[in-house]
Amino acid sequence: MGLPQPPMPIALYHGQALPPVLLLHGGAGSLPDPDTQKRRQEALAGIGAAVLAELAQGLSAVAAVALAVEKLEDCPLFNAGRGAALQSDGLARLSASLMDGARQKFSGVMLATHLIHPSRLAAYLQSREESVVGPLGAQLIARELGIPPQSPLTQAAIERWARALAEKDRSGTVGAVALDRNGRLAAATSTGGSGANFPERVSDSATVAGNYASSYAAISSTGIGEQIVDDGLAVRLETRVRDGQSLLAATQKTLEEAQSLRRRYGWIGVARTGDWVVACTAEAIAWWGSDRAL
């Protein structure tokens, strides 16, 4: 007989609001120290308020999530863009994606190096036939857009990398979902992967398991990417909503499955009805929502 398993942590927040609705996350994983937690919460609230103001002025959902994730990539407190974790060989390889629910168009970049904003490339790919590109494609597109090479390396990232090599710290990722004034939905997600992971390990964030939006629901995931991919998390939640479940019912069912498999991940979501959720089976998820900010 095996040892009894410790209980799974579980968090579920939900509500319903009139559009525009915006939710952001700053990653799920271990509980950070109180100071980091507070600073992340303040950063999410500042970025959330700024983007919500634009959504209220008529910005589209897809432009709003792209803007929110770009701002989150600029903040070194999160594992994306400037704060990205380094892979075990010491290089930051960034992945990001964007999905416009109104067009049901996914775009993303995987393992982009020498830049801060992989989400900009994902946004540009919305206008191209190719949906997802790898590291070389990302470099070529950055060149096409006139984005100069830039290192996301910070002292803090190097110190975290050294610790993560020993501890296998696996938290991170940023994301946004939005429902705009015209009822359109969108989702965006960006990550440096998990701390010190295998070189060129690809995360879930630039796949439809990590990020998905349609005219029914928009979902951005965070947590252990391999588990998110194994469960097809974001697209599974969207399919449940498309097939008639409320976003809350879809979330409760998916949380049950995650608990039974002892998964360690979370997600934010919004449906066309204005229903929104934040769910997590890791110790903590950093999030902000427009409904709570009002």
Q: Round to whole Å and give the CA distance between 86 and 281.
A: 25
Is residue 73 a contact residue for ligand GLY (CB under 6 A)? no
Which window, 129-137, 159-167, 188-196, 232-240, contacts ligand GLY (CB under 6 A)?
188-196
By CB under 6 A, the residues from 53 to 72 that bind ligand GLY are none
Active-site annotation holder among 113, 173, 191, 251: 173
What does the per-residue mask of binding to ligand GLY show for 164-183, with x meaning CB under 6 A?
A: ---------x----------
Cα dihedral 119, 120, 126, 131 in deg (nearest 10): -60
Q: How far is CA 231 from the centre of its chain?
A: 16
Q: Which lies closer to ligand GLY via its Cβ, residue 24 or residue 248? A: 24
CB of 198 to ligand GLY, least distance (A): 11
CB of 205 to ligand GLY, least distance (A): 5
Q: How far is CA 91 from the centre of its chain?
A: 21
CB atoms within 10 A of CB 253: 14
Give the pair of three-digit tokens for residue 286.
């950093």
CB of 222 to ligand GLY, least distance (A): 5
One-letter amino acid of 126 = Q
Is residue 26 a contact residue for ligand GLY (CB under 6 A)? no
Q: Is the dihedral of CA 175, 178, 106, 67 positive or negative?
A: negative
Is residue 225 a contact residue for ligand GLY (CB under 6 A)? yes
CB 25 within 8 A of CB 79: no
CB 94 within 8 A of CB 111: yes
Task: Judge whether 173 counts as a catalytic residue.
Answer: yes
By CB under 6 A, the residues from 189 to 218 that bind ligand GLY are 191, 193-194, 203-205
Binding site for ligand GLY (CB under 6 A): 173, 191, 193-194, 203-205, 222-225, 228
